[in-house]
Structure 1
Amino acid sequence: MPDSETTPALPILIVEDDAGLATLVAETLHAEGLRTVIFSAGRDALAWLEGNEAALLILDYTLTDMNGTQFLARAGAQVTARTPFIVVTGLGDERIAVDMMKRGARDYLVKGLSLLDVLPVTVRNVLSQVETERHLALARQSLENVEHRYQRLFEDATEGIAVADFETGELLECNNAFLDLTGYALDELVGRSQKMLHPPEEGDSPVSRDFALHQSEKQGQTLASRMVTKSGALKDVEIKANAVDIGGRRVMIAFFRDVTAQLRIQRERAVMLDLLKLMNEKTDTRELVRCVTATVCEYTGCEAAGIRLRKGNDYPYFETRGFPPEFVEAESTLCVVDINGQIARDELGHPLHECMCGNVLHGRFDPSLPFFTPKGSFWTNSTSELLATTTVKERQARTRNRCNDDGYESVALIPLCTGGGMIGLLQLNDRAKGRFTRQLIEFLEGVADQVAIALAQRTAEAALRESVKRFEDISNAAGEFIWETGLDQRITYISSRVFDILGYRPDEMLGRRSTEFTAADTAASITAAIAGHLRSGSKFMDYEHSALHKSGSTVWLSVTAIPIQDERGEVAGWRGVSVDITRRKQAETERLEMERRLLHAQKLESLGVLAGGIAHDFNNLL
């Protein structure tokens, strides 16, 4: 019964110069359901093989035109590799059979009475063996394809992947992303402990703290960690690791994701929010600057920070943190002094400021040089290297080098500048090298912009307060108070002098209508007067009206006011000055009363004279 699993679609090639035997072999195979092709000469069989394939070759070793060894040689390795063959030899030719087995024969048959009996079993065995090998080859190829695919996935993964011995932490394999993350080459990592990639402050344990956690209760979990790269820089990473068995060895496969930029942005946002909160809460400039320097020191890890602010011709330190007192004293002034002890000035009369601080404050920088930024900041991670490799011309001016003399290697100078010009700079120093990155300097420039705005705002507010105080002092000395109202006559501002005149504190009057502090009839006349001036757009001049003191007494005021215009040029309210003229009014009242009494007395005197004259005339008549 033919076995469908071992019945090939291709024919079996029979090469036999004995026609009778060839026919018997073919018939025997046909009975097994196998197709055959018969050739008596070796050259004819070779010619057929050039354009056809056979499932199996049954080769008589001794042919009329060649022997089996010659046949295989002429067929070539490509044909013999894809065509399995069985050798048929004569009785006593076992040596030849062994030689042919070494050349790749799957089996051999000896001509004789039992040939046709063992032929079907031998052929079936060989065909089964070939089919099994074909399946194994396919499976092996499939496995190789899978391995190749996973190897490509491993190598091309965007996340860093590292394989380490589970017990020792020895690195066994890393992908390209992991090499990019660490900065190492593969041969610099393989065979070494994964501990080399973690900060030394973790101690002397054989594996890192995170690796130990993944060995135990944290296996399969994502841990936040820090990695030391080949350059010595620290990177923030997230590590997820699992233990698996590969080839009888227990290993840890860890996935690394670089979150340095993400965490940096989060930290920068948090710091900026804290600073903005400080700027809104701290009204005192000194306290604000103190908090800013503390926050910047904490965020950057720098040991010293300072802020210089313009004061007259100089930019002395307004606030410092971490600098030795002698450093601050020596470096506080930037002005260049001539031999006469006078401040040196340029051809335009501007004071000269030296050192790198002077460069930053006066915009002397070359953005093409690596230690300057396009916004005019200066930074270096090694003042020693900078001084050794640059010229005075490149550094834009002669530098004092006090920072380097005091051992400060990392130095950053960030300008504090607003639309109104340069107001100072932010300085950061550290004795360690490598404190700064370009991203950090860019963030500090953003911080400096916000600080400059806050300081300029406080300076403007202080100047405004001083101006208002000066004006109020003048108006108080003149016995008057200043006020502003909206069109609805509600008071939006009123100076403190009003308390001395009307008895009300400013906060008691803000938001209330000005007519609430007058008698009803006076309020009506004021409203009518305002309406008239509103229509004409003219100002009040010496408008007199009575007001009510908080005690209930009457106070007379003389008002001069001008309209407040909005951005469209329309009247939005009134700004004016009210002068207390109560004494003048009282004096005028007293004067009028005295005039009235004098006139009355004069009238009485005239009547007396008239009465005396009439009496005299009567007496004469009598």
Structure 2
Amino acid sequence: NIFSENLLEAYSYCKIICDESGCPCDYKFIDVNSRFEDIIGLSRNEIIDQRASIVFSDLINGTIDWPQIFGDVALNGIDKDFEFFHKYFGIWYHGTVTSPKKGYFITFFVEKSNSKKDIILELDEYYTVIKTITFDEKVLSIPRQEIVGKNLRSIMPDIEDTIISACNKSVMTNKLHSFEYPFFSSTDQKWFRTEVKHFNIKDKSKYIVSISDITDQKRSELEILSKKEELDRFFTVNLDLLCIADIEGNFHRVNTAWSEILGYSVEDLENRNFFDFIHPDDIENTIKEVEKLASQKNVFNFVNRYKCKDGSYKHIEWRSHPYGKFIYAAARDISDQVRSQEQRYLYSTILSILNEPIDMQQSISKILSEIKDYIGADAVGIRLKENGDYPYYFQTGFSTEFLLKENSLLSLNEHGDICRNKDGSISLECTCGLVITGNTDPSNPLFTPYGSAYSNNSFPFLDLPEDEDPRTNPRNKCIHEGYASIALVPIKIEDDIIGILQVNCYEKDMFDLSTVNLLEDIAASIGQALQRKQMESKLNQMYERLEAFHDHSPLLISELTISGKYKRVNKIICDILG
């Protein structure tokens, strides 16, 4: 029982049954192993002590006379090989039958596809081959008769030590032990798997050694490994976002570019659902695109937003190909491109506003509304010079209390008089005053070369020591109001600063340098528009004065055409000529 239960092959021990004339007509099962049960589909209790004609109802009327084949072995002691087809499983099985004593026989069989290249050796305690079983004589590199009775060392010197080691391990653990090894010849290379199991029968050790040719399997594994390594290299070096996902939205594999762009580790993303990272406003459109992929349609140039680990979002453009239930996709971060397009659009919109035939205050109102929406700001405003001070010309979002305290930037002494700098210029307070007076330091990360000031976290300025603070009388009202992100951009006419564009946000990290540069371009356009408005105003004033002089001058003033006709005359001429 110990021997049979540990065999990899299906095993049966049977007694032949003969008719009155002595011809084999049936056989009875004495013992079977669990592998035999698995293949036949019956339990041991349903087989033992039963006739084969009862176990296999079509045995007698079948195309193969099994009692005759097995009876010839049982009665004459001639080993035979056999094959049969299992109708239910659709599998061919290959086996051998031998007789331990007259009237009895033992069968061993395995699935043909697995057995064709197998060699089974039975060794005694001294590692001498007692018996060999193979279903293809060509597999044996040595004739069968030259193997039986030979010591392992003489027939397998290259792997003898490894087999003996496996035999010893099987003795100690009472378990099957296996190993793989390559075999090189001048023309080919093969791989084999050897499985060894120890049995103790009547106080004598025996070993069953099964050697299988796994060359095809190994070559497939190496090919798969090579393709995997190639895929790994492709995933590793590619700058695009690469992923394999299923149509349910689960990531199965991503490359390291995801970590570099979104900030998550590869482990954070794999086995997660990609809908967990998509901006809520993009979910519906993403579902529609996934439905296309589920119907095996490619998706190109689809853009949605993915949440980064820091909470920000990136615009991702996709090229996706379905294959069954899986999606193979390459994507790229186009956030800079999208931001650039949005900034160009905003700038173009503002230029259009500045060229509309409306007054300046209406223009500023529309411009600030566009800026507020684009940045997601909570408050925006423009201060313009007026009698030495810089009050808000127009603003939106600031509280009444804030405006009452912050509208003027003038620094006053205890008597309420305006403070002046050493050069006699009016002293302006806080960061706004620093930007308007042009006293910014480009080497300080708070300031830009253009002279703007911006911060994505203003709160640490409350702890800035007085001797390190470049501002005059810092009020910190913006900070106390809870504004974390603040940008102050000078509005210039040529080299003169005539005001500032102010953008305040309660949320941190609302500005990057490209956004501040955009605000600087907008401020420069506002400055040019104001300069144009000033020049238009001056021209209008000059025209009005000229008209007044023309109408009320005591001199005779007229304008004639080249032919001498009057085109225009003033009042005094009309009075004289009646």
Q: Which residue of 2 aligns with 1:442?
A: 517
Cα distance in structure 2, aligned partners of 1:476 and 1:243: 83
Contact kept in structure 1, 2:492 and 2:524, CA below 8 Å:
yes
Q: Which residue of 2 aligns with 1:514?
A: 561
Contact kept in structure 2, 1:417 and 1:452, CA below 8 Å:
yes
1:134-533 pair list within 5 angstroms: 141-167=222-248, 169-199=249-279, 209=287, 212-213=290-291, 216=294, 219-222=297-300, 223-244=302-323, 250-388=325-463, 393-478=468-553, 514-516=561-563, 518=565
Deviation digits for residues 37-59 of structure 1, max 9, x if unmatched? xxxxxxxxxxxxxxxxxxxxxxx
Residue type at the aligned position of 1:251: F
Cα distance in structure 1, aligned partners of 2:216 and 2:389: 89
Deviation digits for residues 334-374 of structure 1, max 9, x if unmatched? 11112222211112221111011101101122222222111
Contact kept in structure 2, 1:336 and 1:343, CA below 8 Å:
yes
**Displacement of 1:441:** 0.6
Contact kept in structure 2, 1:415 and 1:426, CA below 8 Å:
yes
Residue type at the aligned position of 1:220: N
**Displacement of 1:197:** 2.1
Distance change >3 Å, CA 137–CA 352, structure 1 → 2: same
**Displacement of 1:293:** 0.9
Structure showing greater radius of gyration is 1
Q: Which residue of 2 aligns with 1:26?
A: none
Cα distance in structure 2, aligned partners of 1:259 and 1:359: 37
Cα distance in structure 2, aligned partners of 1:548 and 1:175: 82
Contact kept in structure 2, 1:413 and 1:425, CA below 8 Å:
yes
Residue type at the aligned position of 1:236: H
Residue type at the aligned position of 2:562: T
* SS of alignment partner, residue 355 of structure 2: helix
Deviation digits for residues 482-521 of structure 1, max 9, x if unmatched? 8xxxxxxxxxxxxxxxxxx78xxxxxxxxxx723552xxx
Contact kept in structure 1, 2:315 and 2:338, CA below 8 Å:
yes
* SS of alignment partner, residue 281 of structure 1: coil
Cα distance in structure 1, aligned partners of 2:147 and 2:308: 75
* SS of alignment partner, residue 422 of structure 1: strand
* SS of alignment partner, residue 450 of structure 1: helix
Cα distance in structure 2, aligned partners of 1:412 and 1:237: 28
Cα distance in structure 2, aligned partners of 1:303 and 1:218: 45
Contact kept in structure 2, 1:290 and 1:319, CA below 8 Å:
yes
Residue type at the aligned position of 2:409: L
Distance change >3 Å, CA 95–CA 271, structure 1 → 2: closer
Deviation digits for residues 321-344 of structure 1, max 9, x if unmatched? 122223223211111112222211
Distance change >3 Å, CA 172–CA 391, structure 1 → 2: farther
Contact kept in structure 2, 1:85 and 1:105, CA below 8 Å:
no
* SS of alignment partner, residue 337 of structure 1: coil
**Displacement of 1:161:** 1.1
Q: Out of 436-445 and 456-465, give the one that drifted further.
A: 456-465
Contact kept in structure 1, 2:147 and 2:155, CA below 8 Å:
no
Cα distance in structure 1, aligned partners of 2:257 and 2:450: 34
**Displacement of 1:266:** 1.3
Gaps of 5+ in 2: 1-126, 129-139, 164-184, 192-212
Q: Which residue of 1 aligns with 2:43?
A: none
**Displacement of 1:469:** 1.7
Contact kept in structure 2, 1:472 and 1:481, CA below 8 Å:
no
Cα distance in structure 2, aligned partners of 1:129 and 1:143: 18
**Displacement of 1:174:** 1.2
Distance change >3 Å, CA 127–CA 548, structure 1 → 2: closer
Distance change >3 Å, CA 254–CA 335, structure 1 → 2: same
Cα distance in structure 1, aligned partners of 2:141 and 2:162: 5
**Displacement of 1:582:** 6.3
Distance change >3 Å, CA 232–CA 388, structure 1 → 2: farther
% identical aligned pairs: 25
Deviation digits for residues 90-145 of structure 1, max 9, x if unmatched? 87325656765853999xxxxxxxxxxxxxxxxxx998995997787666555543
* SS of alignment partner, residue 184 of structure 1: coil
Distance change >3 Å, CA 202–CA 260, structure 1 → 2: closer
* SS of alignment partner, residue 376 of structure 1: coil
Query: Higher strand proportion, which one?
Result: 2
Residue type at the aligned position of 1:159: D
Q: Which residue of 2 aligns with 1:30?
A: none
Q: Which residue of 1 aligns with 2:25?
A: none
**Displacement of 1:173:** 1.8
Cα distance in structure 2, aligned partners of 1:196 and 1:320: 39
Cα distance in structure 2, aligned partners of 1:371 and 1:214: 49
* SS of alignment partner, residue 515 of structure 1: coil
Give RMSD over aligned pairs: 3.9
Q: Which residue of 1 aligns with 2:137?
A: none
Distance change >3 Å, CA 391–CA 349, structure 1 → 2: closer
Which residue, 79, 88, 93 being the options, matches 2:150? Answer: 93
Cα distance in structure 1, aligned partners of 2:267 and 2:384: 53
Residue type at the aligned position of 1:176: T
**Displacement of 1:584:** 6.1
Contact kept in structure 2, 1:365 and 1:396, CA below 8 Å:
no
Distance change >3 Å, CA 393–CA 129, structure 1 → 2: closer
- TM-score w.r.t. the length of structure 2 is 0.60
Contact kept in structure 1, 2:286 and 2:304, CA below 8 Å:
no
Distance change >3 Å, CA 392–CA 414, structure 1 → 2: farther
Cα distance in structure 1, aligned partners of 2:402 and 2:295: 52
Q: Which residue of 1 aligns with 2:202?
A: none
**Displacement of 1:215:** 5.4
Cα distance in structure 2, aligned partners of 1:481 and 1:455: 39
Contact kept in structure 2, 1:214 and 1:221, CA below 8 Å:
yes
Residue type at the aligned position of 1:433: K
Distance change >3 Å, CA 104–CA 415, structure 1 → 2: same
Contact kept in structure 1, 2:289 and 2:299, CA below 8 Å:
no
* SS of alignment partner, residue 329 of structure 2: strand
Gaps of 5+ in 1: 1-67, 70-83, 107-124, 483-500, 503-512, 519-546, 550-554, 556-577, 587-622
Q: Which residue of 1 aligns with 2:132?
A: none
Residue type at the aligned position of 2:539: L
Cα distance in structure 1, aligned partners of 2:412 and 2:189: 102
- TM-score w.r.t. the length of structure 1 is 0.56
